[in-house]
Structure 1
């Protein structure tokens, strides 16, 4: 774990934090040996981001969760360089013997075969279209998308086949594909959600160090909305006593930008995210840490996290009801809708993947 008052700049997590729920060996640096190495070689080398290409056999993940509005998703990347310390997807790195802490944001995986695999799946005779959610686990527009363009390729497949898709991101890099998104939006094939956690760039720099600054996200929302693309502002996560003060202003700004819909999601701390977030609090907000976690536990039935369906997304208690009431009132004043966008599945046509052409 990182030492108190020691910050790893440019990263959200402040330690590797290897989980013990899979029986993995813990990583420890011997103090004496570390001092000797620093004397001989100097301070540790700055953390670098590495990308490994992986080649899965399938690309769509299906789920039967009753409390989320989609049943299938695609993640072009594994791990996320944005480094959001609160990210509920961090524990997925533990399945691969990697740390949900620093490894999650520095050891990334890209899936360059994603578009080809998607075409293969959509071509199956028994495939039935429903909106594909992108950005549900890791951000499809994180920095390495600039090089790999996997998200762009996936959108091209969806556009070619008339398949609807939803996108969630914290990056204004989504504007690089505004030409394609505009074309899809005209056919009711796409909706884009941009997550805005706060309006304070300093705070955002601590919470989500490599994500776009708040002003860039607000500008991206406005640009998408003006282009006629169904745009949703997601205020997530709402962190008690840290980011909840921005809720009303974010909604007001979103409405002024032409955004028609907003939503909010309370902070979730599953598995290793809890210790990582507590460590972050101890470093950045030590005087507020007890209050923050006290409110978190009050809306999660006395626990850091509630894993149960429905209640994990809809916390209980006085504080939860306060946040809920504030959100509803702010949306009403701003003329913001809280419903999901309806996309069109009727335009779907199976792609041709080789062999004899269909006569139908």
Structure 2
């Protein structure tokens, strides 16, 4: 695929350095040197377009709860208040979903955010349906529910208020420290086995995190979030995902730090590179780790049956082969040594009370 490049220095704080054409595009454009040297001169002078600002647009969602029957995912109900994510994590497997919107999974994914402004009202209607069967609702599993725009829009907050009122179980995965704002809702729910929060810490290396996850909270700040949640009584866990060979090799240190901060649950996944993400990750490696790019991709392919990615349900989350097994052993042995995932009780859906929502219309 042809890519339109933007120099790294021109996009400080972004995850990728180009607008990746999506797989449905008919026309692709690239900068062109006409022989006069103007392109090279402009590049040397740093005269390309300034770093793109975040744009937020709104949509009216037709549904709030998504359903999945994937056997390798531990929940059937999900909810995501936003499309796209300003955190700009280079490795995000959700990037290719922007292609369905005729937007780039590269810069557009992290600069063009779509907010589902009516998601709380739609969720309320769905929870009140007579046929609705309560189950664990996973929030922010595609894009982060606590990305920066949430501070002003408070869509996630509105969802939590509904679930709190209805005593509906939920679990969240986030890299955003903004989750601390909602401890007043999460703490009492946690005490009733209605809520759990997982904080993703990919690495403790701040320099690496800055180029992998440029607008997410710093690693030390995420550890503080774990501590704050745990001290408030919220069942708290850590996700050490994704594992990227020869890039973030500090899994054990992350787990130790998270346990010390109060996390008692943990899980991991290996890097996934569906669709356009494969090209984007390869370019990122060439920009930041050219000396080991070939070695990283070789190891990834070792875990994917010789391919950049294999979507098979049996292996897509953890990989296959000797290197995937080595990662599994490291994770299991470290969790056993520290005490993760012991006596873990499931969240309780029996407390669900939809009738409590019938007087909530004034919230919207």
Normalised by the length of structure 1, the TM-score is 0.93
Deviation at 1:6, TM superposition (A): 4.2
Q: Name which of 21, 27, 30 aligns with 2:29.
A: 27
2:243 and 2:7 map into 1 onto residues whose CA distance is: 25
Check the 8 A contact 1:12/1:207 in 2, yes or no: yes
Q: Residue 66 of structure 1 corresponds to which residue in structure 2? A: 71
Deviation at 1:135, TM superposition (A): 1.0
Instruction: From the superposition, tell whether residues 65 and 34 of structure 1 become closer, same or farther in structure 2 (CA, over 3 Å).
Output: farther
Q: How many residues align?
A: 352
Matched, 1:310 2:314: yes
Q: Residue 228 of structure 1 corresponds to which residue in structure 2? A: 233
Q: Residue 250 of structure 2 corresponds to which residue in structure 1? A: 246
1:191 match: secondary structure: strand
Q: Which moved more, 1:76-85 or 1:252-261?
A: 252-261
1:262 and 1:65 map into 2 onto residues whose CA distance is: 20
Deviation at 1:25, TM superposition (A): 2.3
RMSD of aligned alpha carbons: 2.3
Equivalent residues in 2 for 1:274-285 (5 A)? Answer: 274-285=278-289
Instruction: From the superposition, tell whether residues 16 and 217 of structure 1 become closer, same or farther in structure 2 (CA, over 3 Å).
Output: same
Deviation at 1:30, TM superposition (A): 3.6
2:239 match: secondary structure: strand
Q: Which moved more, 1:3-12 or 1:30-39?
A: 30-39
2:293 and 2:32 map into 1 onto residues whose CA distance is: 29
2:344 and 2:123 map into 1 onto residues whose CA distance is: 25
Equivalent residues in 2 for 1:93-172 (5 A)? Answer: 93-172=98-177
1:339 and 1:198 map into 2 onto residues whose CA distance is: 27
Deviation at 1:234, TM superposition (A): 0.4
Q: Name which of 342, 347, 358 aligns with 2:346.
A: 342
2:126 match: secondary structure: helix
2:155 and 2:283 map into 1 onto residues whose CA distance is: 34
Gaps of 5+ in 2: none
Instruction: From the superposition, tell whether residues 353 and 126 of structure 1 become closer, same or farther in structure 2 (CA, over 3 Å).
Output: same
1:5 and 1:43 map into 2 onto residues whose CA distance is: 8
1:237 match: secondary structure: coil
Q: Name which of 266, 269, 274 aligns with 1:262.
A: 266
Check the 8 A contact 2:161/2:185 in 1, yes or no: yes
Deviation at 1:111, TM superposition (A): 1.0
Instruction: From the superposition, tell whether residues 185 and 260 of structure 1 become closer, same or farther in structure 2 (CA, over 3 Å).
Output: same
Deviation at 1:43, TM superposition (A): 3.8
Check the 8 A contact 2:60/2:116 in 1, yes or no: yes
Deviation at 1:251, TM superposition (A): 1.0
Instruction: From the superposition, tell whether residues 178 and 34 of structure 1 become closer, same or farther in structure 2 (CA, over 3 Å).
Output: farther
Deviations 1:186-233 (A, max 9, x none): 221110000000001110000000000000001111111111111110
Normalised by the length of structure 2, the TM-score is 0.92
1:338 and 1:51 map into 2 onto residues whose CA distance is: 42
1:85 and 1:6 map into 2 onto residues whose CA distance is: 13
Q: Name which of 9, 14, 18 aligns with 1:15.
A: 18
Deviation at 1:329, TM superposition (A): 1.4
Deviations 1:238-257 (A, max 9, x none): 111000x2101111111111
Check the 8 A contact 2:303/2:321 in 1, yes or no: yes
| Higher relative contact order (Cα pairs below 8 Å, separated by 6+ residues) | 1
Gaps of 5+ in 1: 356-360
